[in-house]
Structure 1
C-alpha cells in the first residue's frame, strides 16, 4: 500500500489521518461511536476500506458488543469508517476502529499482524471501571424519552430544571435514580449555513418574552437569562455539543435554544439525544472538502443530523425557498417519521400549504406582513418593515430569519403574544444581535458590521447595504483559510456582483490562515476581484482586519457607506466604532488613537 507518512504518525497506521469519538447522534447513526478518516491513495487502500467492516466486526464480537453498526464510506481522496459503540466504551471504540484498519491493510497486503483483541478487552474493562452504570443510565433515559448526554467529565439525564448530572465515577445504578424527578425542558436546535446565530437569538428572546428562564448557546458563547439576571457560562464559539451540554445541565433553565453547527456535529455528534423542534435555515456552499463533504447534498445531509434527536411528535422546520432543503425534505419524508413544516418568502408556496394541511403549522411573507399559522389558524405577526432586525425590510435575509424563528418558536409552544412582541423590538439595540448586521450612523457615514463568511452571506450583507443611498461605497473583504480556492473566489464574485465598490480593502487574518501561507488568501481574492472588473486602483491589501477597517475609515467622506464583515477582531472593531461615535469624529478628520 502507498506510504503517506511524513512525520512520526500519531496513529498505528500512517494512512489514518483522523480518529474521533462521536458522543451523541451523528452522521452515521442515532447512537454514539467512533470514526476514523483514512487516506485513500490507490486501489489497495480502497480494498482495505471495503474490508474494514469485517475486521471491525471481529474485534467488537471479541468484546461482546451486540448490534454494532458499521459504515465504510468512500469520498474524494479519503474514506471514513464508523462503528457504533456502547456509552461506556467510546475510547475503546476508537482503538477498535484504528486496529481494524491496521488489520484491513494487512489483509490486502497478505501479511500477518498481532491480534488486537486481547489488549482491547483489557482497555474496555478499564474504561467500564471508570464509567460505572453509564450504559444503563443511557438506556433508562432512552426508555423514558429523556435527554442523555455524556462528555469527559460527567454524565447527565434530563435537561434544564429537570436535569440530574453526576461526575464520572459517581454515576448511580439506574434503579437508584428517582426517575419521576427527572424531566426535560423544551429544547430547540438551530442549524443551517447562514442565519443560525440570529435565529437562535430571536427564538431565545421569544422564550424570554414569554417569561421563561432561557439558556442558549451560539457562536458568541453560552448564556442563561431570567427576570432577575443574565449569566454567561462561556465566551467564544459554543456551537458544538459542549455548548448544548452547558445549557442542558443548568438547573435554572426552563427552555433551551442550541445553535448547532456543522463542525461540532461532524467532530463529536449532537450534544443531546432529544429535542422538541429543529430548524434548518438554508444550505449554501461552504467548508467543502472537510469530513467528506463535497456537495450541497452532502452538506444538507450533515445539517439533517439534527433530525436524529427528533421524535414522532417533534417538528422539523425547513426553508421552502431553498432547493437543497426541498430535496432534503423529500428524502426525509420517505425514511423519517418526524413532521416537517415550512416557511417561505412566497405566500403561494405549495409546500407551506401542504405542511399546514397535515401538521397545522407554517409561516409566509404576504403583502409585507409575516403571517404565522398555528394549529391551522392564520395570524398576522406584523409588518416586516416595522421589525428592527429587518432594517426597514431591506435585510431580506433577516426577513427569512424572522420567519424561521417565529415558526420555530410557535412549534415549541411559545405564546404568540411573545413571538409578536419580540419581532417588534428585537434588533432595536445593538446588543440584541451583536456582530450580526450591526448598523452604525455617525460622522456623516453609515457602517454595517456583520459576520458574513460565505458567498451567500456576503451577497446578503452587500445587498442590504446597497439599499442605503451612498455617495461612495467601501468594503473590507477576507475569509479564513479553511475554504478551498473556488469558495474564496466565489466570495469575491458575490461581493462585486451586488455593488460596484469604490474601494475594497482585502484583509489578511494571520490567526485564521488554517495552514495557508501568509499572503496567499489576499492575493487570491484580489485576483478574482480584478477578474470581475474591479480597477487596480480601487483594491488594496491590509495586514490585519483592524488595519483594514482603519484604512477604510480614513478613506471615508460624508455620505459614504462602509461594509465591514468581521471575523478575527470583531470586539476591537466595534469598540473603535463606538469610540468614534462617542468622540464626535467626522468623516475626513484624522482618526484618533485606539
Structure 2
C-alpha cells in the first residue's frame, strides 16, 4: 500500500486511532486526527505525534470532499454513519479500518478469532499454544494491542493471533487470515448493527477473502455459526461440545478429540482443562482446532490446556473472604456472556448486574437469575430494565445501588459463607467507566479492601 505523501483522515482519537495516526506518520503520510469530542486526553503519545506533524480537528469534523483526503481510516468504536465516513464513501474516497491497514503490512500468517463471546479467552489461549510450540507469536487486535503498532516486527516464520470484532470487520476488504475462527453469534450490538442478519454478515467478513488452502473454524453447536459453512471458500473445521462429529474437534466421552480422516487423536480429558465453565470448554475446542490446522502437536495442546489460567476480567477469582468467593466477570458485557458465567457455578450467587444496554433483551438472563441467584444488586443506566425483567421472572430479593462502590459493599453484606459474589453485568461499562477493564479493576480493588 502506497502511503508516503498521501493525505489520511483518521476518525476517532482513542487507542486505535492514535496507533493508526502514528503508523501513518512513520510511513511519511500527511495525517489529520479528528474526533467529535472537543477535549481528548492528550497523553504523551498524542503529544509526541502532534510534535511530529500530526494535525488535529477536535470537537468538529473537517470537511471531507473529493481531493481533500486520499483515504479515511475509521476507528472501530466510530459508527459508520458519522459525517466524514459517510461523505467519504459518497465521494468514492477509500474507507478502511486499523485491522485492514495492519493486514496490508503483515507478512506473518494470521489466526483471526471473532464471536459474540469468548474472543479474548480463546485468542489468548491460542497465542499461548503457539508460544508453547516454539513460535514467536504476537497476540493483539481487539484484545488491546493495536496490530499496526507491531505488525511489521513479525515475519513469515512467526505467528499473529488477532481478536477481531464485528466493528473492525465492517471495514475489512482484503483481510485474509490463514485461519478464521467464529466462536458463536448471539444477540449483541443491536444498537450498532440493527438486525441479527447485519450482525452475522459483519462476523462473516472474517472469511470473505479466504481461499481453499485457508481454514475456517466454526462452532457446530451454534446454529447461526454452523450455517456459515456454506459461505466460506476455506476448509471448514467444526468443533462441538455436544455432537459426535464425523470430522472435527469434539468431546468423545470425556476426551477432547481431534477426528481427521477417520482417525481419532485424543488430546486431554475435559476435566483437566484449567479454565472453568462449559463455555470455556468450547473455547478450548476452538483453540485446538485452530492450532491443529497449522500443525501444532497434541502434547503441546495438552500441556497448554492444563496450565492456561484464563484472562483478567473473565471469571477471574479475585479473593475468598469468610467463605465467600469473589469473581470478576466484568467482561460479561451482554446477557449471553453473563448467562455462561452464571452457569459456571453450582454455589448460591450474589450477582452484580447493570450498566449501559447495547440493545439487548434480558428475558433469558432473568430466567437464569431466578434459578441461580440468591440476591441481585442492580446498578447503572439500565438497572430498571434488569430489575423489571428479574421481577417478571419471579425474583424478589433485588437491591438497587446508587454507585459501583456501594453495589460491591451491598453484595458483600448480602453474601453468606459458601456463596459466590459475581460481577457479571450483562451490559457495557460506558455509563460509569471508560471500559470493562476499568470496571473490573475497581471491583478487584474494592474486594481486596473489604
The normalised TM-score by structure 2 is 0.72
Pick from 369, 379, 392: which aligns with 1:507? 379
Instruction: Provide Cα deviations, 1:464-512, integer angstroms capped at 9, x if missing partner.
Output: 12x23x4xx311011323x22xx2433642542542x22111021xxxx
Q: 1:140-289 alignment to 2 at 5 Å?
A: 150=101, 158-159=105-106, 184-217=107-140, 219-222=142-145, 243-251=146-154, 254-266=158-170, 268-269=171-172, 273-289=175-191
- 1:55-94 paired onto structure 2 within 5 Å: 89-91=70-72
**3-state DSSP of counterpart to 1:311:** coil
Q: 1:545 to 1:375 in 2, by over 3 A?
A: farther
Residues 445 and 558 in structure 1, CA contact (< 8 A), matched pair in contact too: yes
Return closer, same or farther for 1:387/1:492 CA change in 2, 3 Å cut-off: closer
* Closer/same/farther in 2, CA of residues 247 and 401 from structure 1, 3 Å limit: farther
- For 1:406, what is the secondary structure of its paired residue? helix
In structure 2, the residue matched to 1:569 is: 439
Equivalent position to 2:326, from 443, 447, 459? 447
Question: Does the 8 Å contact 1:369/1:381 carry over to 2?
Answer: yes
Corresponding residue to 1:433 among 308, 311, 318: 311
Q: Which residue of 2 aligns with 1:19?
A: none
Specify the SS of the correspondent of 2:366.
helix
* SS of structure 1 residue aligned to 2:211: strand
- Per-residue CA deviations over 1:75-105 (Å, capped at 9, x if unaligned) read xxxxxxxxxx9xx94349x98963996xxxx
- Give the match for residue 531 of structure 1: 392
1:422 aligns with 2:304: yes
* Secondary structure, aligned partner of 2:214: strand
Do 1:191 and 1:281's aligned partners in 2 also have CA atoms closer than 8 Å?
yes
- 1:340 aligned to 2:210? no
Q: In structure 2, what is the Cα distance between the partners aligned to 1:556 and 1:290?
A: 37
Distance 1:379 1:549, change over 3 A: same
Cα distance in 2, alignment partners of residues 95 and 505 from structure 1: 41
SS in 1 for 2:382: helix
Q: Secondary structure at the match of 1:569?
A: helix
Q: Structure 1 residue runs of 4+, over 4 Å off?
A: 94-97
CA separation of 1:219 and 1:553: change in aligned 2, threshold 3 A: farther
Deviations 1:231-284 (A, max 9, x none): xxxxxxxxxxxx233342234792111000112222x436x7331101000010
Q: CA deviation at 1:366?
A: 1.2
Which structure's CA Rg is the greater one? 1
Residue 477 (1) aligns with residue 353 (2): yes
Aligned counterpart in structure 2 of residue 366 of structure 1, from 221, 227, 252 = 252
Looking at structure 2, the residues matched to 289 and 532 of structure 1 have their Cα atoms a distance apart, in angstroms, of 25
**Number of the residue aligned with 2:192:** 290
Match of 2:271 in 1: 385
Matched position secondary structure for 1:275: coil
Distance 1:309 1:475 in 2: 42
Query: Could you tell me which residue of structure 2 aligns to residue 521 of structure 1?
Result: 382
Question: What secondary structure, in the 3-state scheme, does the structure 1 residue paired with 2:378 have?
Answer: strand
The CA RMSD measured in Å over matched residues stands at 3.2
CA contact (8 A) 1:546 1:569 kept: no
Q: Which residue of structure 1 lines up, in the alignment, with residue 410 of structure 2?
A: 551
Asked which structure has the greater RCO (Cα within 8 Å, sep 6+), the reply is 2
Partner residue of 2:369 out of 492, 496, 500: 496
Verify the 8 A CA contact 1:300 1:328 in the aligned structure 2. Answer: no
**Is the Cα contact below 8 Å between 1:191 and 1:261 reproduced in 2?**
yes
Counting matched residue pairs gives 359
Q: Distance in 2 between matches of 1:445 and 1:404?
A: 32
**Structure 2 Cα separation of the partners of residues 100 and 213 of structure 1:** 38
Return the offset for 1:570: 0.7
Measured in 1, the distance between the counterparts of 2:294 and 2:164 equals 17
Distance 1:420-1:309 versus aligned 2 partners, 3 A rule: farther
Judged with a 3 Å threshold, the aligned counterparts in structure 2 of structure 1 residues 324 and 149 are, in CA distance, closer, same or farther, namely closer
Q: Which runs of 5+ in 2 are unaligned?
A: 1-19, 21-65, 74-82, 426-435
Judging changes above 3 Å, is the alpha-carbon distance between structure 1 residues 97 and 433 closer, same or farther for their aligned structure 2 residues?
closer
Query: Where is the helix percentage greater, Structure 1 or Structure 2?
Result: 1
**Change over 3 Å in CA distance of 1:218–1:506 after alignment to 2:** farther
Match of 1:505, SS state, is strand
Residue 97 to residue 399, structure 1, CA distance change in 2 (3 Å):
closer
Shift in alpha-carbon separation, 1:438–1:98, aligned structure 2, 3 A: closer
| C-alpha separation in 2, matches of 1:91 and 1:149 | 12
